[in-house]
Every structure is written in C-alpha cells, then in structure tokens.
Structure 1
Amino acid sequence: MIEQKKINSPVFPFTAIVGQEEMKLALQLNVIDPRIGGVMIMGDRGTGKSTTIRAIADLLPEIEVIKDDPFNSAPDNLNNLNEIIKIKTPMIDLPLGATEDRVCGTIDIEKALTDGVKAFEPGLLAKANRGILYVDEVNLLDDHLVDILLDSAASGINTVEREGISIRHPARFVLVGSGNPEEGELRPQLLDRFGMHAVIKTVKDPKLRVKVVEERTLFDANPDAWISKYEKEQESLKNRIIEARDLISSVQISDDLKLKISQVCSELDVDGLRGDIVTNRASKAFAAFNNKQEVTTQDIEKVITLCLRHRLRKDPLETIDSGDKVKKVFEKIFE
C-alpha cells in the first residue's frame, strides 16, 4: 500500500466552526448517507459556507483507489493487479463559468473515428466520484447544468454522448450548493431535488461575532498549531461518522413514525414523495450518528425542517416562515 503525499493547504477544522448548526448537521448527515440527496445552503455573504464545506471534506477518512484511475475507482477484488493508493476524499469546486464539456467530460470524435478508440477526457463529475461536489452560487448557474448535476447525483452515473458515441462512468458524490437569496432563488423543480435545505444567517450576538473573528485570526496566524489544538475533537467526530456509516443499514423506523412523516408531508401539501423519502433517510442517519438502532420522534424533529422547508408551495400572502410552518405541523401531528 502506497500513501499519497499530502500537499494540501491547511483547512480550518470543522469542529472549530462556531454556530451555523443547521448547515453543519445537514453536511454531516449527507456524508453519512449520500442517498439523502445533497444539501442546498442559502445565506448571507461571509457566513462561512465555503469554509464549512471544505472543512467537512477535510474531516472525512481517506479512500482507497486504483492508482491513475480517472474516476477514483475502488479496488474491485483482492486479486486486483493494479496498484492501490489512499487519497483524501475528493472535494471538487465547480466554477461558476464552467461549460458542459468541463463538467461532464469530452469525447475526441476525430480520434474515435480515425483510431477506432473511445478517446474520453474526464470532467469534474469524474473527479468528484466518491467525494463532494461543491457549487457556490448555484442559483446563478445555468438551469441546464444544474439539471445535469442533479441527474448525476441522483443516478450515480454520468453519460456523455457525442455524434453517436456514448460513454458512461460512475459519478457518485454528495452535491452541495450554496447561494445568497438576494441574488435569486433556484426554480422550485430544481430546488425540490436537493435532499436538504439549510438556511444560515449572519451572527447577531456581538460576543459570538468576536469569538468567530478571534478564532479565524488565530488560525490564519498559525494554522498548524490551531489544527493540532482540535486534533482530538476532529478524530472523535471522524470516528463517529465512520461508525454511523456502518450502523445506518441496521437502523429501523417504525410504521407509526413513517405514517406520521407522510401525514406531515400531506398536510403541508408537499408535491411528490421525495419529501417523505428524504425525511425517512435523514432520520435514520441522525439516529445512526447518535449510535441508535431505532428512530425516535426526537430524531425526526431534528431533521424534518431541513428536509421539507424548500418543498412547500410559495404563497406571496403567507406571513409565516416555511421552516416555522413545518415545525407547527410537525408538533400538531407528533404531539
């Protein structure tokens, strides 16, 4: 086994991030169970969205891959003759101006026709396989590209077709989008396809603001010392995520709780069944995160707002916040 050299710049520790509990919880649950469907993070500028997303990726355990494989493929069996190395969980930033070819990859048609081989140049979806794909300002991205990202995230496959030539490759990743609501919202049908929706706001408490500024200043002054200070907490959280991943397949949720989740979705007039499915999955992930094998009402309460708030139909005359509306209906049905 060969260890890949680490040449990454220091990353602010996830456990050192102050506040923004909604965003941190949504990210943790998605890395425990990527089938939740990713997370959309909406909030003011300068609230630590990018810092937190990079921090969760840095926290995750290394993965085994076949050396020089463009798709971060896992070793398929013990007799594999390829060289195996360990790499950090991929964290890919998708730039706002990215083209479809840059995202999906390209096929060299000329080479395919003259040499008779499928000459494929992998894109960002290939690099993000088995990792995290982060799209800042996703609400400013072309709808067609957002569709492609969501399709790949849901199916775990990327398909590139050019002039009758088709290439398919694995593209399993946690899709994380962020944006500022002042710059516009995603279309409802795209927003609905994100598993969770976290809302973050600028910290108002002056003491907490001072703490955030001090922590960042100390980290910038001496990153290595700051990272070592949080080493035990980081290791503890990493182990907790690994254990939750192992436990989640055995977590149970009773028929009664499933019924109540669907009653909440029905009363909120949530279109489709995606809200029911995501709430069930997120509840199980939260139970596993807390080392439990049975989902409780408290587990559902912790995640249901994140899973449903962005699926409610927008009513311009409505004065109640969508998150508060979810809580109100939850309390009524689960009383």
Structure 2
Amino acid sequence: MPLPFPFSAIVGQEEMKLALLIAAVEPAIGGVMVFGDRGTGKSTAVRALAALLPPMEAVIGCPYHCAPDDPSEACQTSLAKLGDAKKKTHKVPVPVVDLPLGATEDRVVGALDLEKALAQGIKAFEPGLLARANRGFLYVDEVNLLEDHLVDLLIDVAASGENVVEREGLSIRHPARFVLIGSGNPEEGELRPQLLDRFGLSVEVSTPTDLALRISVVRRRDAFERDRAAFIAEWQKEDDKVRRRIVAARKRLDTVTVPDAVLERAASLCLSLGTDGLRGELTLMRAARALAALDGDATVGDRHLRRIAAPSLRHRLRRNPLDDAGSTVRVERAVAQLFGA
C-alpha cells in the first residue's frame, strides 16, 4: 500500500483540515462533506488523517475489528471471544474504505459467501464495505452522483450505527459506526437533502489563486513523488504534534463544559438562519466542544462558535428567493449580527 501524503504538509485548505480534525476527535458529529474543485487535496487529506491517527485496539479474528472495551457495540464473534479470560486483541490501523460509485448493494452491505456455500454447503456471511469501515472512515468521492438506493442505505446505517442484512436465508446484524466523508463538485449535480443533512460539517475548498500558495503546493507534491520516504521523514515531527493534539483532545473532550449562555447563542444563531430541526444546534455544540478540546480549553466560548458556525450550518439553510447571497455569506452575516463584527 503506498505511503500517504503527510497531513501537516498539506498547503492551505484550513477549513477542511480543521473539520477533519474535529470529526476525528468527536465522531458523533456525523462526518464531513467537502464541496469543491477537483485536484484540491480532498482525498489526500482524508487518507493523511487516517494514517496520522494512532492504531486502535481490536479483537483478533473479528471481521468488524470491534473494540475490546465496549461490549455494547460488539458483534457476536467479539462477544464470544471476549468471554475468554485472555481477551486476545491486537493493534490495527484506522481503516479508510472507499465506496465506489458503481458498487453493488451486496458489495456495500455484504452477502452470502458463495465459495463456502458451494464448496462446503454452509451459509456464511461475507462482510461488505460497511463492515470494513467500522470504527474508521467511509470515503465517498463524488457522493452527489451516488445511486439513490445506496444513498437510502447510507442514511439508514449512518443513523443507526448498525448494518442489517436479511437475504438468502441470512439474518445478520453487525456494528457499522464510521466517520462518513463525502466529496463532490456541485456543478456535477446536487446532493440529496436527506443525505446532506446527515453530514455534521460541510466545508468548501477551491483551487488556490495566490501564486506563492500554488507554487508551494506543486513543490511539496513533487518532492513527495520523487522520494516519499524522505518527504514523510521531513514532516514526521509536525505530524507527531498533530497526533498528540488529537489524542489529548479525545481525553479532554468529556471534561469540556458548554455554558448555558453558549447554548443560547447557538440556538439564537440557528433561529436567525431558519435552519430545519435541531441538528444545527447539536452539531454546532459538539463541534465547538471538540474545537475547544483541540485548543486545550476547558470551556466553550464565543470564539469557538464563530470558527465552526459556517461548516456546521451552511448546508442546513433553506433557499431564500429574496436573498441572492450564498449560504456561507448568510451564515457569516448572521454571526456578525449576533456576536458583533
């Protein structure tokens, strides 16, 4: 498997990198949707972040790499193995699974293992992409072009954290909790509102227009392609710093407090923008708390809300025929009115 580009070496795209770090600290946010031009580092950033994360503890022999310390989310295989006093576990890399646009439903959810059925005459389950992505990242490039039946499937699994397969005489349930990362170009088609609403954060990336920035991107990418090992070694210290920051933020997250005044500000912002439902407030609160944990702060404040308001809310706005401004501008305008310029 080729070595991924170092996360800390990615030039620019600060909003995307921050959103991915927040999702790594607080998976309950619901994932990240990245809109923008092709060739702007979307897939590079996802794979770089996964390589940056510390390996996770998993039950040996479990096809879903269940966590040994969380029986409530373990599959039957793991529960049986954890009954053993030895609790055989091992460290595995955080999975990053690509969901191709042409994937069949059987490939995604899993199906009958035909080899075992024909050779041994037994019914066995062959896990799909959702099983491989458990406790990791499921990446869907050009998610706005995904077929409708797969969109419906992703919505159900993302909501429940569990994949249910009922077919060919099989009845299987297994954990499928992953950080959903989607990317797409809005010019190639819109994303269904039901799926877009499931993404916690939505970020926008664009081709850099600054000359120095473009030169820096090209130089680093060329250096990486010429000698990957040397380039990764050069950025190892910076990546280690980001890794320690993520680990520290995860440990600190449960102790970060969210004052009532901050919740009131978040609700007022969502009310002024007319967002549907309460996912906006929940995402805004969770993202601000994760950001505070990343920054080493014990309490969420207005500055955290301001930084994360646009990614949390821009994809939840209704279209206003009387307002030609884009969603990002509308969020920034509401933030300025509520918090002051």
User: Which bin holds the TM-score, normalised by the shorter protein?
Assistant: over 0.9
Identical-pair percentage? 52
Give runs of aligned pairs for residues 165-314 of structure 1, distance below 5 A: 165-314=170-319
Query: Among 102, 105, 108, which residue is 1:103 paired with?
Result: 108
Name the count of aligned residue pairs. 326
Task: Note the C-alpha offset of 1:316.
Answer: 4.7
Once residues 148 and 322 of structure 2 are traced to their aligned partners in structure 1, the CA distance between those partners, rounded to angstroms, is 27
SS at structure 2 position matched to 1:320: coil
Work out the CA distance in 2 between the residues paired with 1:84 and 1:57: 21
Distance 1:199 1:317 in 2: 23
Structure 1 SS opposite 2:126? strand
Could you give the per-residue CA deviations for residues 242-275 of structure 1, whole angstroms, max 9, x where no partner exists?
Answer: 1101111111111111011111111111010011
Tell me how far apart the structure 2 counterparts of residues 187 and 96 of structure 1 sit (CA, whole Å). Answer: 15
CA contact (8 A) 2:112 2:168 kept: no
CA shift digits 1:230-249 (9 cap, x unpaired): 11111111011011011111
Q: Deviations over 1:6-25 (max 9, x none)?
A: xx311100000000011101
Unmatched 5+ residue regions in structure 2? 70-81
More displaced 10-residue stretch of structure 1: 152-161 or 70-79: 70-79
| Separation (CA, whole Å) in 2 of partners of 1:207 and 1:330 | 31
1:62 is aligned to 55
| Equivalent residue number for residue 25 of structure 1 | 18
Question: What is the SS of the residue equivalent to 1:197?
Answer: strand
Amino acid at match of 1:29: I
Task: Give yes or no for the alignment of 1:320 onto 2:325.
Answer: yes
Paired with 1:70 and 1:308, the residues of 2 have a C-alpha distance of: 36
In the TM superposition, structure 1's runs of 4+ consecutive aligned residues that sit over 3 Å from their partners are 76-83, 107-112, 115-118
1:23-71 per-position Cα deviation (integer Å, ceiling 9, x unaligned): 1011100010000000110100111111111111111110111223110
61-70 or 155-164, which moves further after superposition? 155-164
Cα pair 1:109 1:162 within 8 Å, conserved: no
Q: Normalization by structure 1: what TM-score?
A: 0.92
Say whether residues 1:41 and 2:34 are aligned partners. yes
Query: 1:38·1:195 contact (CA, 8 Å) conserved in 2?
Result: yes
Matched residue SS, 1:301: helix
Q: Which stretches in structure 1 are left out of the alignment for 5+ residues?
A: 1-7
Q: 1:244 to 1:263 in 2, by over 3 A?
A: same
Provide, for residues 146-196 of structure 1, a one-character-per-residue CA deviation record: whole Å limited to 9, x for no partner: 222232223221111126642110111100000111101102222111101
Cα gap change, 1:78 to 1:244, in 2 (>3 Å):
farther
